[in-house]
Amino acid sequence: MSTTIEYVRFACADPKQLTAHRSRLVALLRERYGSDFLGAHLARYEDGSLIDLILWASPEAAARAAKEMPGDPAAGEFFRLIGEVHEMRHAEVLHSTQQ
C-alpha cells in the first residue's frame, strides 16, 4: 500500500458556490472512506481552472472513490458544479514532508 494523490483539473463557472459545497463533500469522504481519506486541497490556477488534490492511503481507495463519488446523490451538488474535466490522474507519493 502506498499513499496516492488524486489530481483533478477542471473548469467551474462558479467556484464560490463549488467551495460552499466542498465542506459537505469532504465530510462525506471522511464518512465513507474513513482512514483511507487523508486530506484534500482545492486551488485555482491563473487561467481560472481549478485543481483538486485529494490524498488517499492507497491507490485502491483512490480508485474506489473515483468510481463511486461522481454518481453518489449525496455528493451531487458538488459534482453538478464541475464543468469540463481537463485532466484526472492518480500518482504515488514518493516523498512527503510537513512543516
**Per the structure block, which three cell numbers stand in for 65?**
472513490
**pLDDT surpasses 80 at 60:** yes
- SS3 assignment, position 48: coil
Q: What is the mean pLDDT of the chain?
A: 94
Reported confidence tier of residue 52, pLDDT bands at 50, 70, 90: very high
Cα–Cα distance for residue pair 4/1, rounded to 1 Å: 9
Evaluate if residue 66 carries a pLDDT over 90. Answer: yes
Position 1 scores a pLDDT of 67
pTM equals 0.90
C-alpha cell at 19: 467551495
